Amino acid sequence: MTDWLKICTLDEIPQLGSRVVESRHGRIALFRTDGDEVFALEDRCPHKGGHLSQGIVCGKHVTCPMHGWNIALQEGRAVAPDEGGTVTFPAKVEAGVVFIRV
């Protein structure tokens, strides 16, 4: 497992919003909830590959802008009855700085 990567400060991600991170694993969507938790997911909806980073964040879910699938930020799973999942990466906030491990 690789080391934690420093990405940005927490306030560079809007609450209930996201930022796109270009990594060696491709595009990663980095989300911030209204409780200031952060989650990192592959920026790819399991349905048709839509950019999840561009979706609307509610609670701990994001709604894909393409066809409205809901994806749980924690596990990367599509909310039933839709089926499928997207890869998640560990993410954390320490002293106002956001880290992810890819």
Instruction: Please give the residue ranges that form the binding site for other proteins (CB under 8 A).
Output: 5, 7-8, 12, 14-17, 19-23, 28, 30, 34, 48, 50-51, 54-59, 63, 65-68, 70, 81, 100, 102
* Closer residue to other proteins, CB minimum distance, 66 or 85: 66
Q: State the minimum distance, in angstroms, from the CB of residue 95 to other proteins.
A: 18
C-beta separation of 27 from 51 below 8 A: yes
Q: What's the rounded Cα separation, in Å, for the pair 51 and 54?
A: 6
Q: State the minimum distance, in angstroms, from the CB of residue 85 to other proteins.
A: 18
What does the angle CA 34 – CA 81 – CA 30 come to, to the nearest 5 degrees? 30
Q: State the minimum distance, in angstroms, from the CB of residue 40 to other proteins.
A: 10
Q: What's the rounded Cα separation, in Å, for the pair 32 and 17?
A: 6
